[in-house]
């Protein structure tokens, strides 16, 4: 059986990344921080309608 080696790329800069590295799947701390900032800024979203979140003030008891 011949297994093909998987090649991974950093989702930010697209550089090749080894699976066992400390910052996997990122190539380094800079790309990891860039990705976190994109999440925090709302750049990544899941398609669909926004969910209504019920908190204690909305509950009818």
Taking only the tens place, the pLDDT of each residue in 4-60 is: 557 899 999 999 999 989 999 999 999 999 999 999 998 988 888 888 888 776 555
Domains identified in the chain, total number? 1
Structural domain boundaries, residue 24: 8-41
31 part of a folded domain: yes
Residue-wise pLDDT tens digits, 19-28: 989 999 999 9
Helical H runs in 1-61?
29-41
- Contact of 8 with 17, CB cutoff 8 Å: yes
DSSP summary character for residue 61: -
Closest CA to 30 of 44, 45, 18, 15: 15
Q: What angle do CA 44, 48, 51 make, to 5 degrees?
A: 95
pTM for the structure as a whole: 0.64
Placement of tokens 């750049």 in the chain = 43
Report pLDDT for 31: 97
């Amino acid at each position: 059986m011949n297994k093909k080696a998987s090649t991974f790329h950093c989702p930010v800069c697209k550089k090749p990344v080894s699976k066992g590295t400390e910052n996997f799947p990122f190539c380094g701390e800079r790309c990891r921080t860039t990705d976190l900032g994109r999440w925090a800024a709302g750049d990544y979203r899941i398609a669909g309608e926004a969910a209504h979140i019920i908190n204690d003030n909305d509950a009818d008891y």
